[in-house]
Amino acid sequence: MMGNSPFEKYLSYFPPMELPVTVQYDDLYRYNRENDAIPDGLMDVFLVPHLDFVPDEMTEFMPCFHFIGEGGMIHCVIWSGRLMRHSFYVMNYTSHGQFLSQAEIAGFYAVDKDVFQRMAHIGEEGEISIVETNLSTLESTISIDHTTKWQLHILPDGAIRKIPVEW
């Protein structure tokens, strides 16, 4: 599949990953050692216009991996670092590079005095289970009372459906 089209060049920065895989904050160090940065020209076409935030001069990106989903859909996982928010996103594309959807799946962020950590497990069928907890509580262990859980299902048309999961 790797050829000379701009999307194939973009995709070449995301090594293939076999599922299942878990994505969590400290995974960044491995991807930073193993993967090269994406050139700005490719990011300006395939990434930046589709983000749910506007990057500034301090925003960093690191490609992590990709996997192929239903119907040949391509799912790229990329890390983004911003002030008080480090996130892993899944970016969904057709096999020809047309953007379909994106979602933040893991990382950490701060809101006022609260600090949240999120991790994701991508199952063998591409379903994404996410757990998020508030690390700011005074408890010494993570409490289910301060933790939320949900699943993301990527539909055949690329739309993402969020489904709450009860404990």
Looking at the chain, the whole-number percentage of residues with pLDDT higher than 70 is 92
- Report whether pLDDT(4) > 80: yes
> pLDDT tens digits for 107-153?
999 998 888 999 999 999 999 999 999 887 655 565 666 789 999 99
Look at residue 1 and tell me if it is in a domain: no
- Cα radius of gyration rounded to whole Å, the chain: 16
CA atoms of 138 and 146, how far apart (whole Å): 11
Look at residue 94 and tell me if it is in a domain: yes
* DSSP-assigned states of every residue in 36-48: PPPPHHHHHHHTG
> pLDDT tens digits for 13-43?
999 999 999 999 888 888 989 999 999 999 9
CA atoms of 142 and 131, how far apart (whole Å): 12
Residue with tokens 């994701």: 120
Look at residue 123 and tell me if it is in a domain: yes
Split into its structural domains, the chain has a count of: 1
Look at residue 114 and tell me if it is in a domain: yes
Please tell me the predicted confidence (pLDDT) of residue 25.
Answer: 84
Look at residue 10 and tell me if it is in a domain: yes
Residue with tokens 């491995």: 30
Mean pLDDT of 157-165: 92
Are 129 and 120 in contact, with CB atoms under 8 Å apart? yes
122 by DSSP, 3-state: which?
Answer: strand
Residue 152's domain comprises 6-164
List phi, psi (to 5°) of 80. -130, 130
CA atoms of 5 and 95, how far apart (whole Å): 12
H/E element, 86: strand 85-93
Query: Considering the entire predicted model, what is its pTM?
Result: 0.91
DSSP bridge partners of 120? 23, 130
